[in-house]
Amino acid sequence: MFNFLKKSKGPRPMIVSTDVHCHIVPGVDDGSPNTDTSMELMERMASWGINRIIATPHMTLDTFENTPDILDPALAELHEALDRSDIDIELSRTAEHRIDDFFFQQLEKGAIVPYPNNYLLVENSFVQEPWGLDRTLFDLKLRGYKPVMAHPERFMYYQEGRERYQQLHQAGNLFQVNVLSLAGYYGKSTKQTAEWLIENHMADFLGTDLHHHRHADAIEEYLESKDYRKLLDSGVKFKNDTAFL
C-alpha cells in the first residue's frame, strides 16, 4: 500500500509469481551449466517476485535424453544449495517434452513427471509441426494429461496462418507464452504473435524460458518497458499461480 514511499529497487515484479518454464536444473541441458550459476539465476528471479519455480529441462531425442535418474540428482543438488541460501523459492521440476520418439518411449515407461494436476508441457519441433500432432495431443488427454504447448508463438510455420492456433486451442490444448517473446528477444514477428495470442485470450501460461544471464538481462529490460506496463494495465490473467494449487 505504501509502495509510493519506497524508492523502487530493481525491476517491476513479474505479472506471475510462479515460473513454469526455465532451464535452471544444472548441467542437464543447454541451460545453467552448474549449481552456482543456477543460484545466481534464481536470485535474479526472486528479485522479480518469483517465489515458485517448476523447472523444465529439455527432454529431446539425441540431444538431451534426460530421464529421472539424470534429472532428479541434479535437482537435489540445487535443492541443497537453495536450502543453504536465503532465497525464498519453492523449487520442483517437470520437463520440456519435445514431441518425438524419446518422449513416446518415456511415456510408455512411466518416466514422465508432469506439472502438478497433470498439466504436461510439450514442445513442437522448430522445423515443422510434428506428424499427427492432433492425434498425439488427443491421446495425451485420454491418458489424463492436460497438454500445455510450449511457446507456440515461436514456431514460424504457425506465425503465418494463425487460425491453426485457434484450432489447437479450441481442441482443449493450452498455450504457454514466453516472456522473452514479449521482450522481443526472438524478433518482431514472434513478439507480435505472442501479443496476438494474449489479446485473443489464448495465452494460458507465461514462462520465462530462462537459460542464462543474457536471458535474465532481456527480461529485466522488458520489466522496465512501456510494453510491460501495457500488459499490466490490460488486466490479463494467467493460470501460473492457480493451476498447480
Residues at the interface with Fe ion (CB under 5 A): 96, 209
CB of 28 to Fe ion, least distance (A): 12
* Nearest CB to Fe ion, comparing residues 133 and 210: 210
* Nearest CB to Fe ion, comparing residues 22 and 39: 22
CB of 21 to Fe ion, least distance (A): 6
* Nearest CB to Fe ion, comparing residues 12 and 67: 67
Question: What is the distance of C-alpha 14 from the center of its chain?
Answer: 14
* Nearest CB to Fe ion, comparing residues 19 and 209: 209
CB of 149 to Fe ion, least distance (A): 12
* Nearest CB to Fe ion, comparing residues 95 and 231: 95
Lay out the sheet containing 174-178: strands in order across: 58-59, 96-98, 119-123, 146-150, 174-178, 205-207
CB of 126 to Fe ion, least distance (A): 11
* Nearest CB to Fe ion, comparing residues 96 and 153: 96
CB of 145 to Fe ion, least distance (A): 18
Q: Which residue is nearest to Fe ion (CB)?
A: 209
d(CA 213, CA 33): 12
CB of 210 to Fe ion, least distance (A): 9
**Given phi > 0 = left and psi -120 to 50 = alpha, else beta, which region is 82?**
alpha
